[in-house]
Amino acid sequence: MLATAEKTKAAQSLATAASAMAQNEVHLRDLMADEARCMKMIVEVDGMTLDFSRQRIPAEVLPHLLDLWSEVDGAGKIQAMKSGMPINSTEDRSVLHHALRAARESVYRDKDGVNTVELVWGVLDKIKAFSEKVRNGEWVGATGKALTDVVAIGIGGSYLGPEFIYEALRTDKTARESAGGRRLRFLANVDPIDVTRATEGLDPETTLVVVVSKTFTTAETMLNARTMREWISKKLGSDSVAKHMVAVSTNTEKVVEFGIGQENIFGFWNWVGGRYSVCSAVGVVPLALQYGFEVVADFLSGARAMDDHFFSAPAEANLPVLMGLVGVWNASYLGFPTRALLPYCQALLKLAPHIQQVDMESNGKRVKVDGSELQSDAGPVNFGEPGTNGQHSFYQLMHQGRVVPADFIGFKESQQPVELEGEVVANHDELMSNFFAQPDALAFGKTAEECRAQGIPENLVPHKVFTGNRPSSSLLITKLDAFQLGRILSLFEHRTAVEGFVWGINSFDQWGVELGKVLATQVRSQLSKSRKEGASVSGFNYSTTKMMQSYLA
């Protein structure tokens, strides 16, 4: 079953438990009737409550999951990460995204002994000063106008996290007030349509462009950066670029080569993986420009609070560890290939796209750290959509089709409460009625007997039966502000790490994205030669040749 832990006692107990459950058809209806069991599966940490009682984990199996964590030396692996050991072994890098949100006086050393927190605060101080200058109109554009709008260019990890945070805070009262009408747009796709969408209604005179790229070599980002440079130069002349473009990167040389001065670069480091970089200048520059540095500082404190919890809480009370163990159980023991992320909060509409990258780029692997092949699939397919929208889309499949383990997220308070006179409940309570109802509908289902008792005609009974026994966890959180948002981000980042630790994989490299890039280079050069010199398509397989010929015709 589990490659890394297949010989451990706990792994064997878990495998036995999983097959016994399948044979005995243990149903969540029975598991949920055991209140002592449920009590152990509801864990509260500073106003964030995780209820994983609706997972298909019998009371006696939970200790085996915790044993598995001990047997793979989970605590030791957390410590290795925390202390800067090069756990990203294929790139010989430390993994220190927690240092990005550490308190100024903390010390996290990288593999070479450098205190990364000092570096982090050097950049944070620079961002604070810069963002304040732009926001208060001290830093102006080439024609002397204040820069009220920002376009952040970047893709993958240099885009998804910042957009997720931007959207989540857009309707938060404090952040919204602080934004004061400023605009932030993202330009990610190399599709030229995205340039039009990102710049619609913007004027180069009042726009600042932030080019975000760890490597500063990503083809999409570089072409978009050149396109935006042209957009600015065309109207304001090429000398204006210095006032209208800044960069976030680890590759100073390439940024300078591009034409952005060293003083306008906000750096980060190779111990920050792209998908774990939202707390670095990658996210902090655009978000501080939009919401002000203080709001971003709250977000960083929230992430730090969850880091501290992750590093110190015992496994049985550790939210990322528990969620990670649930993930391993569902993916590797019960064999569920997918997982849904269902925030009952419209402001979290970009959570799922971000976690798709965090989780699938991290744990979508086929080999272990030592290069040997995994004997079972590791990370699941992640997808999601805010509730209640998802209910009117793919929940049908979740209720009566495939089993998709789900993570529900709900808040006690709305960012934007509405209560109409004469309505039964306030709008947020209406939303939350669904948050509480759906997990039970999935878990308990509806039997044929229940259908008949309701007078459903016999021919419709099979269509109206819900088999139930569909697992989910629920997270109930006070409210979505910058601080809680930081906790949520860190929680999901560490869940991914926990799962990777148990599977014994390197969750911090992403070699799987390389091959497509190489092939695109070959196609690009063919398209150029064909368009510019009329060269015929050659060197590709039959199908690609045919399709490219058709494209070029």
Active centre residues (catalytic): 361, 392, 517
- Region of 206 on the Ramachandran plot (φ > 0 left; ψ -120 to 50 alpha; else beta): alpha
Locate tokens 């792994």: which residue?
A: 11
Nearest to 117 by CA among 95, 97, 96, 102: 102
Q: Does 162 engage in binding with ligand G6P (CB under 6 A)?
A: no
Locate tokens 């490299």: which residue?
A: 509
**Measured distance CA(73)–CA(501) in Å, rounded:** 9
Q: Does 513 engage in binding with ligand G6P (CB under 6 A)?
A: yes
Least distance in Å: CB of 158 to ligand G6P? 4
Per-position x/- string for 352-371, each x denoting binding to ligand G6P as judged by CB under 6 A, each - no binding: ---------x----------
Binding segment toward ligand G6P, per CB under 6 A, in 92-100, 153-161, 495-503, 539-547: 153-161
Q: Residues 254 to 293: which contact ligand G6P by CB under 6 A?
A: 274-275
Nearest to 499 by CA among 328, 332, 357, 340: 328
Q: Does 155 engage in binding with ligand G6P (CB under 6 A)?
A: yes
Least distance in Å: CB of 128 to ligand G6P? 23
Least distance in Å: CB of 516 to ligand G6P? 9
**Measured distance CA(114)–CA(126) in Å, rounded:** 20
CA separation, residue 184 to residues 124, 148, 375 (Å):
20, 9, 45
DSSP per residue over 59-89, as a string?
TTTHHHHHHHHHHTTHHHHHHHHHTT---BT
Binding segment toward ligand G6P, per CB under 6 A, in 56-64, 150-158, 435-443, 484-492: 150-158
Residue with nearest beta carbon to ligand G6P:
274
Q: Which one of residues 214, 350, 399, 495 is an interface residue with ligand G6P (CB under 6 A)?
A: 214
Q: Does 157 engage in binding with ligand G6P (CB under 6 A)?
A: yes
- Cα 15 to chain center, whole Å? 30
Q: Which one of residues 53, 148, 218, 388 is an interface residue with ligand G6P (CB under 6 A)?
A: 218
The answer to whether the beta carbons of residues 288 and 14 sit under 8 Å apart is no
Query: CB-wise, 148 or 158, nearer to ligand G6P?
Result: 158
Binding segment toward ligand G6P, per CB under 6 A, in 48-56, 111-119, 213-221, 289-297: 213-221
Query: CB-wise, 379 or 405, nearer to ligand G6P?
Result: 379
CA separation, residue 439 to residues 148, 348, 385, 411, 517 (Å):
44, 19, 15, 15, 41
**Measured distance CA(86)–CA(74) in Å, rounded:** 16
Q: Does 520 engage in binding with ligand G6P (CB under 6 A)?
A: no
The answer to whether the beta carbons of residues 468 and 28 sit under 8 Å apart is yes
Q: Which one of residues 94, 290, 474, 510 is an interface residue with ligand G6P (CB under 6 A)?
A: 510
Binding segment toward ligand G6P, per CB under 6 A, in 156-164, 226-234, 406-414, 495-503: 156-164
* Binding residues for ligand G6P (CB under 6 A): 155-158, 213-215, 218, 221, 274-275, 361, 510, 513
